[in-house]
Every structure is written in structure tokens, then in C-alpha cells.
A and B are shown apart, each in its own frame.
Chain A
Amino acid sequence: MKKIELLAPAGNLEKLKIAIKYGADAVYFGGEKFSLRARANNFSLEDIKEGVKFAHKHHAKVYVTTNILPHNDDLDGLVEYLKYLDSVGVDAIIASSMTIINTCIKECKRMKVHISTQMSTLNSYACKFFKDLGATRVVLARECSLDEIKEIAKKTDVELEVFIHGGMCSSCSGRCMLSNHMVNRDANRGGCAHSCRWNYDLYDKDIKINKDHYFNIGSKDLMALKMIPHLIDAGIASLKVEGRMKSEYYIAKIISSYRALIDDYYKTRDKNLDYDKYKQEIEKAENRETSIGFFNGPVTVNEQLYDRDDHPTKEYVGIVLKDNLFKKYTLIKQKNFFKIGDQLEIFGPNNKKIDYEVKEIFDCDLNPLDAARHPEQIIKLKIPFRLKKDDMLRLKINIEK
């Protein structure tokens, strides 16, 4: 049986490399055209080529999102763009427009078509339709329960991809125009303003019903750790993590945690894994409330986002820029404030963690600093053990607390 694929988001080239180093079997990202997530640092044509080269060198696949619902003007250059993606080795596009799907099937010799979750596919008959169309994979709607996913998998021979982690639309994907009508940002062309996460009042004619709470319709993010063994057993082809806008630290933590879980299940075939272990790691990077989504059936209040209390995580404080080869100083790019006396935890793709107390901080010219204050500042630390490029530093204990 083919091992299930762990599919990671890549907001830019650096994140693509991090995702693959930290355990992704495949990555997806948008180019500068035809992709949702207009605010992500979408890939230039050169970036795409380099990303594919890096991914394939590490035996990972690359999928490019072309999942907008284009208006007439948006279609200029479609054939050339798809042919370019095909020529540089992109493995598949993720699409929802019939025009983009059919153009790819007609014009591209090698590149496959995956049907985007924007098509809200909830059943085996719809899967059959897309297979007949020429698609090789369908990304199922996030509204499918585990039982439904199992049933669909039994009845269809098209590859299935399932979301396991990250943001959830409150609406069926592709069916929400709140953003278009409220702020004139086209949700299906990359401009979603996340109006479903705003605060509303609920009225019965002119009488306001809500008193102490706003009326909210937003969803908590998805975290489906306990579903992974079931999805593996059901024969799902790919497990997808959402989050092209997320940080490299988030990508590293989420991907390495799911990587470990998947590998542990393949080794043990025991569904009674210590899920808290993976959850604790994920929670180090997750700053939004999570839930099981629709996996257990229709959502309850536990899956809805009320009186939200999101807080930005500031635990990720730096990334190693070069292998230190036991040299006296390790070159670090600062990601969040930390200072002398702070306790850090250093981790890498293998998930091994090392504790480290900050005793000295230096700038590039080896001038001593009392703290790493400036975002993206390049600093040097004396770290007495071997570290590799892209290992990360996380704040463990702030001594003032």
C-alpha cells in the first residue's frame, strides 16, 4: 500500500524548503496568477522553477494552486502559464474553474489536475464526475465527516485529499460572497476579507436578540490528529495542511508533528497513540483555537468561534542561518524579542530538542547586546553544540515571568 502523502503549504520559497526539510512529502503554493491567497508572497516563475528543483531533489512533489474562479480578463495568458508549469516539472495544478481544468488536460502533457476544495465535493458521484473529466485527485470538502470520507473512498478510484489542519471556511468553500458584498474584495479571486470572523448583531425585525455576546458565524481552525490513522486505513492519498500565510516556524512545527504521527502509526499500527505528545508540539506554534471540524459529523458549539481570544505566538525567536560546524558562534536571524537570561529550546527537522540558556548575545561585529530586539536582525550566539541551517529557536521560559 502506498504511504499517505503529507502535503504542506508554502507561502514562499523559504517556507517550501522548511516544509520539505521538516517532513512534507509534497508542497503546494500559488504563482502570481490564477491563485487564491493574493496576500501570500506568491511565487514568481523563477521561484516556481527553483522550488520544483529543490522539491524533486528531495523526492517531494509540487502542486501549484490555480484555484481562482476567473472573470473574462483573468484568463489572459492561461495556456502559456500552464505550459510553463508543465515544462518546469510541476506535478499537478489545483483548480476549480472548468476552463483551467480543461485547458490543463488539453494542453499539458505531463502535469495532472487536482480538483480544489473550492468545488465543495461531498460525495462519490461528484468524484466520479471529476475523474471522468480527467482529474486524478479530488480535494474533499471540509464538511465531510470521517464516515462519509471512508464511504467515498470505498466507492471511488480517484485519489482523495483531505484537510487535516488549519483554517476552516465557515461557508462551503467557493460559496461565500460576504467579502465581495461587504468590502468589494472578491473571495473567489484571492481577496477574502474573512468577514465570517467579524462581529455581528442578530435582529428579529428591529429587536436586537444578542445581548452580552456578538453573533458570530466563524469557525475554529481544524486539528485532526486522532483522525490520521483512520484516514490512512481508509486509503486516502494525501493529508493536507492549510496555511500559505503562516510563518516558517508554524510550518516546521505542524509538519514535523504530523510527520512523526504518520510515521509512528505506520510503525505501530496502533490507534492508541499518545496524541497529547503531538498536540503539545503543535500548540507551541498554533495561536488560534482548534477543533475537530466536521470529522465527527455536524458541528457543535465546540467547533464554532465565539468571543474569540486569538493571541499572536511570540515563542519563535530565531532561525539558524548556517550550519555552525561546532564553530564558536552560530549565526541566527532574530524572529521575536529575546534577551540574556532567557531559556530557549532549539529544535530541528528530526524533532530532537535541546535546552539552551542565553548568556551572551552579539551583533554581527561581535558587539555585545543585552537583547535581540530588532525583527530579522542577524545576531551571533555562542552555542556549544552542532546546529544545522533551518534549526529553530523557541522561547521556553521568560525569566521575568
Chain B
Amino acid sequence: MKLITCLKNINDIDKLNFVDEVIIPTKYSIYYDELIEEAEIKQAINKLEEMNVKAIISIDALISEEKLDEVFNFINQYLESRCDFIFSDFAVLSYFRSNNLDLSRLIYSSSTYICNCDDIQYYHDLNIRVFVSNELSLDDLVLNCKYDNVILQAYGYFPIYYSKRNVLSLFKNYTGIDFDVNKEYEIKEELRSEKYIIKEFNDFDTHSVILNAYQICIYKELNDINPNYIYVNTSNIDVLKIYYDGLSNSIFSIDNELALKNIDERIDKSLLYIRPSILNKDEKN
């Protein structure tokens, strides 16, 4: 089992020497906490290479026709570097194929689409790694993670809404309320108590993202799921170390899980133990 995390701050890169791979968010990512500038991306890749940690460049946004060349030019800059690429727009896969590039450098991450073994097999045959959906039950995860190309997000926030609408700016325009649209906010549905992080992005294209209410925390279940790769999305080194401890010892203990709860209470099991419903036609709204 290998450990993947995400670079939150360029100054923290030295602390990540024990992980296997680090995702570098870019302005072509669906979500990032702070934008890492292009000059810093090369620097980060080089630094990670020195540390013997693989870099993964995230370009997982959906790409409009007019932005294709810009994104392909961006990819071209890093083809000689030791790095992989996360994508969710099939234009990227098509570009790699058209140019006979190595498909094994690609990781498909749509957050929602990879839900069954047969779909995973399709990417396995192409030698492409995939992020498995975050909305699966434990049973499905156990089955899906038998494939060695699967990455499971074991910790942290993830997008549950990805829109090409700049919903914060639009609301500001509609109401005339003065607030900074470039900050992170939270929304709460009128009848529910949970708050969901919402953020708008305007660096590459315009889009908005809503994150899950609680950080997912899959830990003791890793003993059963046993994926080839786990993704721990956090800036907290203590959290990363707890996952590292688990995979180094091949045991993900209850004690360590409790330690994770002590670090941040806003964690839960998401839909791991809930069987999602599919409405039957006779069922009421």
C-alpha cells in the first residue's frame, strides 16, 4: 500500500519525505486551497524528485474547447519531468493517445464515476490508475480495491458539487451584498444542521465547488479494503503520520483511529456504512 497526499503549501514540501506520491494542485484543478504558481510547480517537482517522492500534477478540471491549447501547452511543459497527471476530462486522455504518450502516467479522477469493477478493469487495461468514487459502501470498496490501479481517498474533504457557475459572484450581483468572493465560505440548508464548504475559482475558468460536510476518515476499514494506494488529503502532518504508521505496520488500529478523532472531530465515515437508495418508480418524492 502506498501513501499519496496533496501539497497544500510549497513551504511544507520538506515535511513530506515519508510519503510515496504528492499531488500538486494547479489552476487547472477542480479544487485547491492556495494556488501554487507555475514557477513553483517545477520547483516542487524537482524537490520531490530529490526526496524520491513522485509528483502528480492535477489537471482535473473539465476543459472548454477554447482552453484546450492552453491546457495541452501546460502538460507539454512537464512531459520531461518525473511526474504523473490527474485528469477528469477525456480530452487529456485523447491528447496523450494522439501523441503516443505514456498512458500509465495518467490517473483518472472524476470523484464520482468509478463505482464498479468492470469500469475499473477498463482503465486497468489501459494502464491508467483511477480514483474510486467516494460515495461507495464498504462492500463495494472491498470489491473495487482488489484492482491494483485503484486509489482510495481515505481522509479529508472532497468535492460533492462541481459547477461551471460562479455561484458566489452571481449571488453577490443578485443581492448587492458586499463580500469577498475569493474566500472560502460555508453553506447550510434551511432544514439541516451540517455546514458545507463552498469556494469559487476564477484563475483558469470560472467554477464553484462544494465539499462534503465532514472529512471522510477510512482507517480501521483499510485492513479489509486493502487498496494499493490511499490518498490522505490533509495539511496536518500528524494525520499523515498516523496513516503512514498503519501502512508501515500493515495494521490500521482502533487506537490510531481514535487518535485521528482527537486531532479533528469533524470527521466521519461518509456513506461507507449506508446503503444508498435508488428510488423505485412508485416511491414518493
Binding site for B on A (CB under 8 A): 32, 38-42, 69-72, 74-75, 96-99, 102, 119-126, 128-130, 132, 141, 143-144, 147-148, 151-152, 155, 170-172, 174-178, 180-182, 184-186, 188-191, 195-196, 198-205, 209-217, 219, 294, 298-301, 304, 306
Contacts and interface: CB of A to CB of B under 8 A. Distances in A.
Contacts of B277: 184-186, 191
Contacts of A39: 279, 281, 283, 285
A172 B171 contact: no
A99 B122 contact: yes
A211 B118 contact: no
B122 A180 contact: no
Contacts of B78: none
A191 B185 contact: no
B64 A123 contact: yes
Contacts of A180: 135, 160, 271, 276
4 A-B pairs with the lowest CB-CB distances in the bound complex, closest first: A125-B91, A99-B118, A38-B279, A177-B160
Contact of B122 (A102, A126, A212, A216): A102
Given A70-B116, A175-B161, A176-B160, 6 more contacts: A97-B119, A98-B122, A143-B164, A180-B135, A198-B190, A202-B185
A289 to B, nearest CB: 13
B148 interface: no
Contact of B68 (A40, A123, A196, A213): A123
B237 interface: no
B215 interface: no
Interface string B117-149: 111001100000000011111001001100000
Contacts of B118: 75, 98-99
Of B65, B68, B94, B213, chain A has the most CB atoms within 10 Å of the CB of B65
A178 B188 CA distance: 12
Contact of B95 (A125, A143, A147, A214): A125
Given A126-B89, A185-B279, A299-B170, A199 B190 contact: yes
B112 A191 contact: no
Interface in B248-285: 270-271, 274, 276-281, 283, 285
A184 B171 contact: no
Contacts of B26: none
Contacts of A151: 65-66
Contacts of A32: 281
Nearest to B207: A172
A201 B63 contact: no
Nearest to A148: B65
A203 B195 contact: yes
A203 B185 CA distance: 6
Interface residues of B, number: 76
B94 A200 contact: no
Contacts of B133: 69
Interface in B195-210: 195, 198, 206, 208, 210
B233 interface: no
A122 B281 contact: no
Given A40-B281, A99-B122, A170-B165, A71 B110 contact: no
B90 A126 contact: yes
19 contacts: A38-B279, A71-B116, A97-B119, A124-B91, A129-B90, A171-B162, A176-B160, A176-B162, A180-B135, A186-B135, A190-B279, A191-B277, A191-B278, A199-B189, A204-B179, A204-B186, A217-B161, A217-B165, A306-B171
Nearest to A141: B62
B278 A172 contact: no
B15 interface: no
Given A69-B115, A125-B95, A171 B161 contact: yes
Contacts of A214: 190
B117 A177 contact: no
Contacts of B276: 71, 180, 184-186, 189, 191
Contacts of A69: 112-113, 115, 133
Interface string B145-188: 00000000000000111111111001101110101000101111
A120 B62 contact: yes
A304 B170 contact: yes
B111 interface: yes
B51 interface: no
A200 B285 CA distance: 20
B46 interface: no
